[in-house]
Amino acid sequence: MAYFPNGTAGDLFQIRQCFRCKNYRDKGDGRGPGCGIWDAHLLFAYVATGEQRLVLDTLIPMDDADVVAGDCTMFVNDHDTLPLPGVE
């Protein structure tokens, strides 16, 4: 499951993945911005056990060295979702 040692690491992951993903919801439909996968990691990363942890591990796995969060497995690149200056 994804581990972010500080808020900056989490913010950078969101800029690199979440904000550029077609699954990110910020469509003005009243649900507000965000992603269910990101929300699940924020809510359950420190309390997940067994199958819950397996699900989180599958959605945002750690890299091979188990140091940095890898790419979200549900990421679908969509540059038009939320344009950010300087982010390609």
User: For the segment 33-73, what is each residue's pLDDT rounded down to a tens digit?
Assistant: 788 888 888 888 777 777 777 788 888 888 777 667 888 99
Considering the domain boundaries, does residue 84 fall inside one?
Answer: no
Question: Domain range for residue 26?
Answer: 1-78
pTM over 0.75: no
Helix (H, G, I), strand (E, B) or coil at 7: helix
In this structure, is residue 5 part of a structural domain?
Answer: yes
* Residue 26: inside a domain: yes
How many structural domains are present in the chain? 1
Q: Is residue 83 part of a domain?
A: no
Residue 48 falls inside a structural domain: yes
In a domain, 1, yes or no: yes
